[in-house]
């Protein structure tokens, strides 16, 4: 056949194939247009899961009469005018494809009125971009888009629609996600003339918490920490779930970049790494997070549905997200007071003290943490810990000896010598009581029962001691130069040319991990030294995994994970064993160390180390005051 131009309607239907997958896709495009129009209230009416009708009305700026025909034409928009605008786009939509694409596969009616117009004007479209005849309408200021009979002229695509309930579930889930993106906008969602969602604008923090609870559940609110970080032009804020509040699915993870909901592998990898040390195997964290950065540093035009983005400085974004989440989880320990800081690129910071709840961190307390790591040994041991008890922790400044590490475990196991006599803790005033209180008993020789100012706590002694030991080992190992052990026989690895290039480019990175890798050919690298602590691991596969991570994410934590896994095993074997009877003084010493230890809420395997019961919860058990 000769080359010919496609009919306009067919062109729009092809475009619709990329954008309009199901009724929820239509809702997404139209609601995002409402955002761009400055709407503060959006009404969504759906019939038969969206297959029969989708009607969306807003109170935004509206469209002038003369622009209605253009609004229904391809590549016509008010949001960008040049390439520079596209590279700095901040609007949700920018291609000008949504309305003509939708009208090519459905019966579309557009009604709009600007604030200064005498009346609204209505036009209908069928995807041909022809025969527009605006008619007056009594519509109030704002815009309504009425979409009926989706896929009526493409029956093959209509057959792919699921059951009415399934399609509406997708729409409801989408509106909930969009509602988390814009707290300043109210949403009313009706299905088959029945109200399903009614979310009022949430300007105050209390109102925002109520919206989060309405969408994610009250348990999310009770088990999350509000965070706020800024560094190098990046700003991350929102809510992250405590590791003990996790899910079997990734269904409660909401991440927004400049107000746009996205799914991104780089972001997912950074979050996974931040939770790697504290989350139970097979579980997934929960979060509602917002990343703000210069629009020029992120490409939002990387995917037809705009659900994926491309960061221009991927490694910087990954490291920022990892550090922010890692520190927020590390500093959630009982009684910890953290410093609120806005970290600038040059390292200057302004600080203000922000209290953290003693036993449970309420959602309305913002935790803003520094991105810098603590100084070696800072806040890691209780005052009771003596140099004699930790004599094996005196490292030579230039290296870490592996035989010393084994001795450290033995030394730490003797940290709490058997002594008689209890601290007169029960007579201490509540105002002077430590966050985890004072021990009362060792139940079944496993759990520590302690009285606090707010109630009682139960501590799994082995799990808690395991985390304390593990954090000490990590801190003292990683704060010193990693010992590199030369290989008697160098290992030659066959890799791809791209991986060989990467190994050569990241030579300093590998040296910092304790690996000495040199390129010896187009597709060959030679491994001459490895971290001493990984001498018995499969370093061949480890190096390949690191290269794969670097190629995919621009960063890798594989070596650190392997080292941490060994330290975790050592900590587990060196901790207080279950069934060993502890004295009151030993239990109190462990409680004090817990208060100073990062990530103390979970053991090395992700299990909780302690739980709390308040006075009110205890009273409810016995119906006191009822």
Q: Convert the pLDDT of each residue in 452-478 to its tens digit.
A: 888 999 999 988 888 888 887 777 666
The pairing of beta strand 366-367 with beta strand 224-231: parallel
Token digits of residue 513: 């991990």
pLDDT band for 559, please (50, 70, 90 cuts). Answer: low
Rounded CA-CA distance 539/198 in Å is 56
Report the half-sphere exposure of 248 (CA within 13 A, side-chain side).
Answer: 0
Position 224 scores a pLDDT of 87
DSSP characters for 295-345?
GGGEES-SSTTS---EETTHHHHHHHHHHHHHHHHHT--TT--EEEE---T
Q: Partners of 239 in the beta sheet?
A: 226, 288
Q: Is the Cβ–Cβ distance between 209 and 221 less than 8 Å?
A: yes
Find, among 552, 551, 492, the residue nearest to 518 by Cα: 492
Would you call 606 helix, strand, or coil by DSSP?
Answer: coil
Rounded CA-CA distance 230/225 in Å is 17
pLDDT at 416 over 60: no
Position 245 scores a pLDDT of 84
- Residue with the bigger pLDDT between 349 and 506: it is 506
pLDDT at 110 over 70: yes
Mean pLDDT of the chain: 78
Burial class (CB in 10 A: 0-12, 13-18, 19+), 47: middle
Placement of tokens 């009604």 in the chain? 111
Q: Is the Cβ–Cβ distance between 350 and 342 less than 8 Å?
A: yes
Position 20 scores a pLDDT of 84
Placement of tokens 């808690």 in the chain? 464
Rounded CA-CA distance 123/562 in Å is 63
Rounded CA-CA distance 397/420 in Å is 38
Phi, psi angles (nearest 5°) of residue 321? -65, -45
pLDDT band for 254, please (50, 70, 90 cuts). Answer: very high
Average pLDDT rounded to a whole number, residues 394-423: 41
Would you call 206 helix, strand, or coil by DSSP?
Answer: helix
Average pLDDT rounded to a whole number, residues 270-277: 86
pLDDT band for 309, please (50, 70, 90 cuts). Answer: confident
Find, among 174, 180, 215, the residue nearest to 50 by Cα: 174
pLDDT at 494 over 80: yes
Q: Which domains does the chain have, with CATH numbers?
A: 8-199 (3.30.565.10), 205-367 (3.30.230.10), 391-478+579-621 (3.30.1540.20), 484-570 (3.30.1370.100)
Q: How far is CA 368 from CA 207, 332, 353, 390, 454, in A?
A: 21, 12, 10, 33, 25
Position 178 scores a pLDDT of 95
Average pLDDT rounded to a whole number, residues 306-329: 87
Position 131 scores a pLDDT of 72
- Taking the CB of residue 215, how many other CB atoms lie within 10 A of it? 19
Position 74 scores a pLDDT of 77
pLDDT band for 621, please (50, 70, 90 cuts). Answer: confident
pLDDT band for 368, please (50, 70, 90 cuts). Answer: very low
Position 19 scores a pLDDT of 75
Token digits of residue 537: 């691991």
Helices (H), strands (E): how many in the chain? 19, 25
Rounded CA-CA distance 225/418 in Å is 38
Q: Is the Cβ–Cβ distance between 363 and 226 less than 8 Å?
A: yes
């Amino acid at each position: 056949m000769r080359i010919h131009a496609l009919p306009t309607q067919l062109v729009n239907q092809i475009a619709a194939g990329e954008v309009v997958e199901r009724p929820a896709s239509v809702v997404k495009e139209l609601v995002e247009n409402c955002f761009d129009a400055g709407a503060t209230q959006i009404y969504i009416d759906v019939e038969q899961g969206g297959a029969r009708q989708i009607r969306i009305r807003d109170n935004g700026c509206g469209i002038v009469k003369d622009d209605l025909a253009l609004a229904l034409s391809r590549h016509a928009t008010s949001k960008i005018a040049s390439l520079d605008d596209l590279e700095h786009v901040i609007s949700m939509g920018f291609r000008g494809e949504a309305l003509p694409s939708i009208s090519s596969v459905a019966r579309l009616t557009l009604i709009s009125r600007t604030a200064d117009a005498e009346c609204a004007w209505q036009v209908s479209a069928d995807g041909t971009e022809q025969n527009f005849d605006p008619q007056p309408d009594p519509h109030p200021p704002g815009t309504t888009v009425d979409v009926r009979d989706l896929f009526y002229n493409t029956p093959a695509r209509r057959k792919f629609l699921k059951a009415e309930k399934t399609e509406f579930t997708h729409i409801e889930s989408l509106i909930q996600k969009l509602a988390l993106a814009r707290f300043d906008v109210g949403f009313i969602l009706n299905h088959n003339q029945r109200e399903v969602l009614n979310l009022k604008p949430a300007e105050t923090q209390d109102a925002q918490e109520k919206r989060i609870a309405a969408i994610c559940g009250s348990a999310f609110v009770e088990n999350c920490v509000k965070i706020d970080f800024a560094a190098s032009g990046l700003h991350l804020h929102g809510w992250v779930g405590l590791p003990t509040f996790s899910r079997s699915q990734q269904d409660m993870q909401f991440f927004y970049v400049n107000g746009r909901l996205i799914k991104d592998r780089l972001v997912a990898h950074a979050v996974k790494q931040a939770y790697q040390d504290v989350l139970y195997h097979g579980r997934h964290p929960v979060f509602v997070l917002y990343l703000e950065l210069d629009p020029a540093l992120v490409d939002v035009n990387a995917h037809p549905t705009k659900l994926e983005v491309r960061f221009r400085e991927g490694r910087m974004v990954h490291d920022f997200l990892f550090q922010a989440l890692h520190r927020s989880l590390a500093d959630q320990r009982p009684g910890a007071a953290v410093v609120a800081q806005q970290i600038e690129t040059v390292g200057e910071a302004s600080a203000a003290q922000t209290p953290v709840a003693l036993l449970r961190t309420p959602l309305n307390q913002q935790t803003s943490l520094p991105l810098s790591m603590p100084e070696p040994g800072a806040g890691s041991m209780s005052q009771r810990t003596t140099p004699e008890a930790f004599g094996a922790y005196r490292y030579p400044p230039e290296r870490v000896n592996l035989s010393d590490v084994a001795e450290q475990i033995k030394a730490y196991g003797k940290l709490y010598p058997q002594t008689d006599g209890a601290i007169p803790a029960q007579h201490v005033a509540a105002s002077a009581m430590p966050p985890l209180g004072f021990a009362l008993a060792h139940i079944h020789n496993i759990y520590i029962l302690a009285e606090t100012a707010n109630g009682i706590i139960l501590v799994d002694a082995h799990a808690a001691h395991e985390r304390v030991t593990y954090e000490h080992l990590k801190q003292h190992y990683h704060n010193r130069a990693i010992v590199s052990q030369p290989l008697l026989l160098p290992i030659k690895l066959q890799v791809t040319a791209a991986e060989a290039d990467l190994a050569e480019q990241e030579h300093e990175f590998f040296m910092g991990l304790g690996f000495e890798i040199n390129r010896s050919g187009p597709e060959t690298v030679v491994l001459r030294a490895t971290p001493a602590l990984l001498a018995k691991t499969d370093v061949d596969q480890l190096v390949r995994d690191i290269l794969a991570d670097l190629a995919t994410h621009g960063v890798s934590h594989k070596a650190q994970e392997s080292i941490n896994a060994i330290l975790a095993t050592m900590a587990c074997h060196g901790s207080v064993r279950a069934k060993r009877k502890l004295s009151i003084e030993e239990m109190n010493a462990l409680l004090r160390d817990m208060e100073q230890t990062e990530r103390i809420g979970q053991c090395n395997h992700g299990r909780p180390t302690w739980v709390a019961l308040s006075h009110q919860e205890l009273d409810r058990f016995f119906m006191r005051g009822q």
